[in-house]
């Protein structure tokens, strides 16, 4: 990376490829972060369980607690 | 009143260990959008550790020793990881409107931490002792001088910048991060938005400190529960499923992941370290430019000679907004007599062993001001047709007085490297202030090199780096203003950009307090993605007539 810097020039925008990659990665990671879930835990209920709405499964569900 | 008892009881009430180090968290935190805080913290820990190692061995070590340069690269990639995750943390917390339910000060401290981190990184770039550091110092000085800060915070003073970077600013940063963490753990993470605006409003009133007294009022009648303490997480998360969570393990995993990542990046990509430009190089590579810059200093026509505060009483670079010039208010705090510092003092020293030079100097200094100006103007004009022969600058015949002899000797001092040392002289033995040589180089040599590297202000220079390395991309907004009207044509562009950024930064810090605007995250709707399971389960509970909304009743 110590060679001559590569730049993208469009109108008044002049940005190094390295900075562009960082900004593009920021956006990609942000999108992934708000859309992805930890797969094995995706079915655990997030609110207080009731006989009608309990949706928890697996070990995690067994350990989950509801605040009194 | 026993203060000790009072403090102890407050700590016990507000900071129960169960909430400071919880082993259960609300189930809605399963989104990766909650990871960035701990990744930022991990990056900060590694930044501090690698920074301690660098500080222990000193600048020469990270330039000359392969291990030192590797540790420097680790430090650089830690900084990139820190700002990468910090930016994502800021974005995700914004989308969650994480300041709700009494957490406005948590946001304020977090936003101030962001600003402090930028300052810490900036002084780090100034402490690199390479070309980036030189250029950032001379480019940034104009912005700081324009608002009077440069009079006290001298970017070209390595000793001052290094002190700020390795101690003062990291200390501030750690204190702010510690306070922010404490705030987060005392109140816990914010809940998803309530199902109705009215319910959300009720929650806000209940948990916001100033309004809790109102909420408490009916308590005496037994109509509602007593007002909750801000730290009452049991009540705050009522009706919300809690899941086992190991915060410490998560922190260690994040620390390990960031460590592996920065080691790999440092090993593969290394880090930028373009050698600094010296006066010797400048004199050797561009003798005519060197002599022209020197003549600008001697005749008082150079940009530094006419600059103004904090270096002299000129007005060439003085900026103001309306009738107010903070630059002039701050005054001349780093006085530099350009003709003396760059020409007459070095030549006087050299003249101690050179009788011809001593005679030339005497001729010049004893001449009238009018005669001096005539020689200076004639010689400066002649430099436009100058050539270089055997390392000497040759100009057409003319009446230049002793100036050709003086400039030839100064060029010799420059090409030999002696001038690099002479400009670092001060009253004492130790030297760590590079203001004089950097100001000299800022006239011509540094901008010429920076333009080749796309680092001028008009080239978004402040966020760029040498080589193919990411620079301070977090300064994109600051740099952006310099590219568009009216900033890029205004004579007081630096002041205008400072004012603009000050206003925008203040808005960021106090965003939770801005009516209407602080509802923006709700309408952006990203929170619907982050908390989609929570909202889905709540709808299911509502459809089933369950108790899932209990938490929203406060």
Residues of the domain holding B422: 279-452
Instruction: Please tell me which of the candidates B239, B469, B537 has its beta carbon nearest to residue A18.
Output: B469
Which residues lie closer than 8 Å to B320 by C-beta, 6 or more apart? B326, B327, B328, B492, B495
pLDDT on residue B426: 75
In degrees rounded to 5, what are phi and psi of residue B464? Answer: -95, 165
Segment (H or E) for B535: helix B532-544
Residue B285's CB is within 10 A of a number of other CB atoms, namely 13
CB contact under 8 A, B463 and A47: no
Instruction: Please tell me which of the candidates B33, B471, B537 has its beta carbon nearest to residue A47.
Output: B537
CB contact under 8 A, B27 and A30: no
- Rounded to a whole number of angstroms, the distance from the CA of A24 to the nearest CA of chain B is 11
Statement: the pTM of the whole predicted model exceeds 0.95: no
Mutate to test the interface with A, among B234, B537, B544 (most CBs of A within 10 A): B537
**Total domains, chain B:** 1
Give the pLDDT band (50/70/90) at residue B460: confident
Residue A29 has pLDDT above 80, yes or no: yes
Enumerate the domain spans of chain A: 7-60
Render pLDDT for B124-150 as a digit per residue (tens, 0 to 9).
999 999 999 999 999 999 999 999 999
pLDDT on residue B223: 54
Residue B486 has pLDDT above 90, yes or no: yes
Instruction: Please tell me which of the candidates B237, B470, B546 has its beta carbon nearest to residue A22.
Output: B470
CB contact under 8 A, A65 and B32: no
pLDDT on residue A6: 86
- Rounded to a whole number of angstroms, the distance from the CA of A44 to the nearest CA of chain B is 8
Burial (0-12, 13-18, 19+ Cβ within 10 Å), B345: middle
Q: Tokens at residue B12, please?
A: 């016990």
pLDDT on residue B543: 87
DSSP code, position B227: P
Instruction: Please tell me which of the candidates A13, A29, A34 has its beta carbon nearest to residue B526.
Output: A34
Positive or negative torsion for Cα B519, B522, B526, B527: positive
Q: Which residue has the tokens 């990376």?
A: A1
How does DSSP assign B309-335, residue by residue? Answer: TTT-S--TT---BTTB-HHHHH--SS-
Residue B72 has pLDDT above 60, yes or no: yes
How far, in Å, CA of A41 to CA of B102, rounded? 30
Mutate to test the interface with A, among B26, B28, B32, B85 (most CBs of A within 10 A): B32
- Residue range B344-355: average pLDDT? 95
Render pLDDT for B46-58 as a digit per residue (tens, 0 to 9).
999 999 999 999 9
How many A×B Cβ pairs under 8 Å? 176
- Rounded to a whole number of angstroms, the distance from the CA of B40 to the nearest CA of chain A is 14
Residue B224 has pLDDT above 70, yes or no: no
More confident residue, A41 or A23: A23
Distance set, CA B16 to CA B10, B24, B37, B160 (Å): 10, 14, 22, 41
- Conformation bin of residue B498: beta by default, left when phi > 0, alpha when psi is -120 to 50: alpha
pLDDT on residue B225: 63
Q: Is residue B501 one of the residues assigned to a domain? A: no
Give the pLDDT band (50/70/90) at residue A40: low
Residue B211 has pLDDT above 80, yes or no: no
pLDDT on residue A1: 73
- Rounded to a whole number of angstroms, the distance from the CA of B93 to the nearest CA of chain A is 11
pLDDT on residue B431: 86
Nearest alpha carbon to residue B469 among B269, B199, B253, B261: B269
Per-chain mean pLDDT for chain B: 92
Give the pLDDT band (50/70/90) at residue B554: very low
- Rounded to a whole number of angstroms, the distance from the CA of A38 to the nearest CA of chain B is 7
Average the pLDDT over each of A56-60, B317-321, B368-372 and give the range with the smallest value: A56-60
pLDDT on residue A52: 39
Q: Is residue B540 one of the residues assigned to a domain? A: no
Instruction: Please tell me which of the candidates B36, B484, B548 has its beta carbon nearest to residue A12.
Output: B484
Nearest alpha carbon to residue B541 among A47, A29, A23: A47
CB contact under 8 A, A5 and B464: yes
pLDDT on residue B310: 97
- Rounded to a whole number of angstroms, the distance from the CA of B369 to the nearest CA of chain A is 47
Segment (H or E) for A7: strand A7-10
Instruction: Please tell me which of the candidates B239, B453, B537 has its beta carbon nearest to residue A5.
Output: B453
Render pLDDT for B78-136 as a digit per residue (tens, 0 to 9).
999 999 999 999 999 999 999 999 999 999 999 999 999 999 999 999 999 999 999 99
CB contact under 8 A, A3 and B476: no
CB contact under 8 A, A17 and B468: yes
Residue B213 has pLDDT above 70, yes or no: no
């Amino acid at each position: 990376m110590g060679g001559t810097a590569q730049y993208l020039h469009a109108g008044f925008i002049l940005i190094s490829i390295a900075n562009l990659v960082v900004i593009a990665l920021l956006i990609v990671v942000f999108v992934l972060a708000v859309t992805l879930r930890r797969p094995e835990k995706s079915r655990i209920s997030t609110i207080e369980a009731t006989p009608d709405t309990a949706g928890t499964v697996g070990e995690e569900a067994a350990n989950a607690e509801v605040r009194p | 009143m026993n203060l000790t008892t009072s403090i102890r009881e407050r700590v016990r009430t507000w900071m129960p260990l169960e909430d400071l180090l919880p082993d259960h968290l609300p189930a809605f935190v399963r989104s990766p959008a909650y990871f960035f805080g701990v990744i930022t913290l991990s990056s900060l820990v590694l930044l501090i550790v690698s920074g301690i190692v660098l500080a222990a061995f000193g600048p020469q070590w990270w330039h000359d020793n392969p291990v030192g340069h590797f540790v420097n690269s680790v430090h650089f990639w830690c900084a990139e990881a820190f700002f990468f995750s910090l930016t994502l943390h800021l974005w995700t917390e914004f989308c969650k409107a994480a300041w709700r339910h009494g957490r406005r000060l948590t946001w304020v401290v977090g936003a101030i931490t962001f600003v402090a981190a930028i300052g810490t990184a900036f002084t780090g770039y100034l402490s690199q002792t390479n070309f980036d550091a030189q250029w950032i110092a001379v480019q940034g000085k104009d912005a700081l001088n324009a608002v009077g800060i440069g009079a006290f915070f001298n970017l070209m003073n390595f000793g001052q910048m290094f002190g700020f970077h390795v101690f003062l600013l990291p200390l501030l940063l750690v204190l702010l991060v510690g306070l922010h963490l404490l705030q987060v753990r005392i109140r816990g993470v914010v809940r998803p938005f309530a199902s109705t605006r009215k319910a959300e409003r009720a929650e806000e009133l209940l948990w916001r400190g100033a309004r809790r007294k109102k909420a408490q009022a009916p308590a005496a009648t037994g109509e509602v529960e007593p007002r909750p303490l801000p730290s009452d997480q049991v009540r705050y998360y009522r009706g919300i499923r809690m899941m086992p969570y190991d915060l410490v393990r998560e922190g260690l995993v994040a620390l390990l992941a960031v460590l592996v990542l920065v080691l790999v990046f440092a090993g593969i990509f290394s880090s930028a370290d373009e050698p600094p430009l010296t006066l010797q190089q400048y004199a050797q590579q561009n003798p005519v430019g060197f002599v022209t810059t020197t003549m600008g200093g001697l005749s008082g026509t150079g940009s530094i000679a006419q600059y103004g505060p904090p270096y002299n009483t000129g007005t060439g670079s003085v900026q103001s907004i309306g009738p107010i010039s903070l630059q002039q208010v701050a005054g001349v705090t780093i006085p530099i007599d350009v003709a003396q510092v760059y020409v007459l003092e070095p030549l006087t020293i050299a003249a101690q062993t050179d009788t011809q030079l001593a005679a030339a100097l005497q001729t010049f200094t004893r001449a009238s001001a009018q005669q001096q100006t005539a020689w200076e103007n004639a010689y400066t004009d002649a430099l436009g047709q100058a050539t270089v022969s055997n390392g000497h600058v040759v100009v057409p015949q003319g009446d230049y007085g002793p100036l050709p002899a003086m400039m030839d000797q100064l060029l010799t001092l420059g090409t030999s490297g002696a001038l690099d040392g002479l400009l670092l002289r001060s009253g004492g033995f130790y030297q760590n202030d590079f203001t004089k040589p950097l100001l000299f180089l800022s006239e011509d040599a540094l901008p010429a090199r920076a333009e080749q590297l796309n680092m001028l202000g008009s080239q978004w220079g402040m966020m760029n780096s040498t080589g193919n390395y990411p620079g301070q991309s977090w300064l994109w907004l600051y740099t952006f203003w310099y590219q568009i009207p009216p900033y890029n044509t205004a004579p007081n562009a630096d002041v205008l950009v400072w004012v603009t950024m000050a206003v925008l930064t203040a808005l960021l810090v106090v965003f939770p307090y801005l009516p209407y605007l602080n509802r923006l995250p709700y309408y952006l709707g990203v929170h619907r993605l982050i908390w989609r399971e929570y909202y889905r389960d709540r709808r299911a509970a509502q459809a089933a007539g369950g108790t899932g909304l209990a938490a929203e009743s406060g």
